[in-house]
Homo-oligomer: A and B are copies of this chain.
Amino acid sequence: MAKDNFVENIADIETDFPQWYTDVCKKTQLVDYGPVKGTMVIRPYGYAIWENIQKELDARFKATGHKNAYFPLLIPMSFMTKEAEHVEGFAPEVAVVTHAGGEELAEPLVVRPTSETIIGNMYSKWIQSYRDLPVLMNQWANVMRWEKTTRPFLRTSEFLWQEGHTAHATEEEAVEETMKMLGVYREFAENVLAIPVICGRKTEKEKFAGAVATYGMEAMMKDGKSLQSGTSHYLGQNFAKAFDIKFLDKDGVQKYAYTSSWGVSTRLIGALIMAHGDKRGLVLPPKVAPEQVVIVPIAAKKGGVIEACEEIKAQLENAGVRVVFDNTDNSPGWKFNEWEMKGVPLRIEVGPRDLEAGKVILFRRDTCEKCECLKDSVGATVISLLETVQKDMLESARVRRDERIVKAADMQGILAGVESGNFVKAGWCGCRECEDKIKEKTAASARVMLDELEDELCAVCGKKAVHTVYFARAY
């Protein structure tokens, strides 16, 4: 398939999705490789997306009663071993500080892969009475997990994230919190990232190391693979027992608290790229786009064009729109390609002929459609159109995804389904053996389990199904 010349920098999305992803990451200057293998540098264009994500999420966390705090990066190795499943899950991936201040340390320190242990240690000091509960905290931080195979945003040895950690007097409250934050993530993913997600419980095999139950949200990428985009863990009393988080309850009895944790990361930038991108590059939803509008002058030397651009820019800025006016020497065609590749939701083309007629041209990045707009009403039109784009992007992602959810009743069906780039719904008996078999034969893993039982039988062993599961290949 011949490549359009405007995307000569980017591999073809249809035939080489992985290379397309890497090209988009690099060519749009979202990210670069760091000097240490597996690390990334988040460049300003990528970091601006993260700042918008942070702002939106942080407001939601605060609105649900959470406060931000900051816990130390380095965790004593001995903490890791206090929760048996936790250490088994994370020990193989940790980076370890053994020397500091010119001396060998008495105890090696782990660079946090996640902070349940060190936060549990602090909570045990702060929580004495039922009056101290609930404790609802979040931190924005860097974490480190030493991975063998890495890709920018999706899997890197260091990444940025937020991790919420809460402690409650009762199981009910902790479970409610776990589900509430899953709901916050879903609402955010859909309304801010314009990414429809499938939420549900993870299988025992896929759950967080140390959790009683993990709930995740899964998003479909354009290659049909799934990206785990956020998780919320009900930790029961596992960490409370390991770290002695006890409180004197109203009834005068000492009890262990119930805890939860939940997180999303810079991985969400990868989700944005792969859920919305197309052959021309990035397509960013307005709410997180670093620039929501680019103004491109046509025949810039003609009288009045630059002035009109400046005027429109000022008008949009006053209305709170993030706007860039590309007044460089490059040709309009070059600018079109560049800003389309960078995924800016709207372009305003300002040319002398249109201006004479009191008009400008608007170009929507998501649909690649153009329309005319009266210059005098460009502010209101842009604001309304940005809202439309935001909604339409979610809707078209939902249509794309729903077309690619299929059902299967046996292994053949699962294999055929995932081979064609689908999410496959199938019945599952609940045993690890059948889950492993599917992974082995189809490279698909159980993404989430649904409450509703749609199939009577397990697609692998034919025994009675206890869950309906979404199977997919995943990042």
**0/1 interface trace, chain A 78-114, chain B, CB 8 Å (1 if under):** 0100000000000111111111111000001101000
| A160 proximal to B (CB < 8 A) | yes
| A68 proximal to B (CB < 8 A) | yes
| A158 proximal to B (CB < 8 A) | yes
| A42 proximal to B (CB < 8 A) | yes
Contact among B34, B126, B148 for A72, CB-based, below 8 A: B34
Is B100 a contact partner of A35 (Cβ separation < 8 A)? no
**0/1 interface trace, chain A 7-35, chain B, CB 8 Å (1 if under):** 00000000000000000000000001011
Question: Which B residue's beta carbon lies closest to that of A95?
Answer: B100
Question: Which B residue's beta carbon lies closest to that of A98?
Answer: B98
Please choose the segment from A43-51, A212-220, A416-424, A456-464 that sits at the chain B interface, where 4 or more of its residues have CB less than 8 A away.
A43-51
| A40 proximal to B (CB < 8 A) | yes
- Bound form: Cα–Cα A71–B42 in Å: 7
Please choose the segment from A117-125, A184-192, A332-340, A364-372 that sits at the chain B interface, where 4 or more of its residues have CB less than 8 A away.
A117-125
Question: Which B residue's beta carbon lies closest to that of A107?
Answer: B36
Task: Tell me if A's interface is mostly helix, strand, loop or mixed.
Answer: mixed
| A471 proximal to B (CB < 8 A) | no
Min CB–CB distance A329 → chain B (angstroms): 10
| A67 proximal to B (CB < 8 A) | yes
**What bracket does the count of chain A residues touching chain B fall in?**
35 or more
Is B121 a contact partner of A35 (Cβ separation < 8 A)? yes
| A170 proximal to B (CB < 8 A) | no
| A475 proximal to B (CB < 8 A) | no
Min CB–CB distance A239 → chain B (angstroms): 15
Is B97 a contact partner of A101 (Cβ separation < 8 A)? no
User: 5 tightest CB-CB pairs across the interface, nearest first?
Assistant: A101-B146, A44-B67, A95-B100, A39-B72, A42-B70
Is B99 a contact partner of A96 (Cβ separation < 8 A)? yes
Contact among B36, B43, B109, B137 for A74, CB-based, below 8 A: B36
Q: A144 to chain B: which residues have CB within 8 Å?
A: 73-74
Contact among B68, B75, B118 for A44, CB-based, below 8 A: B68
Is A98 a contact partner of B96 (Cβ separation < 8 A)? yes
8 extra interchain contacts, Cβ-Cβ under 8 A, other than A36-B109, A74-B157, A95-B100?
Answer: A35-B72, A36-B75, A44-B69, A50-B70, A51-B68, A91-B102, A93-B101, A99-B108
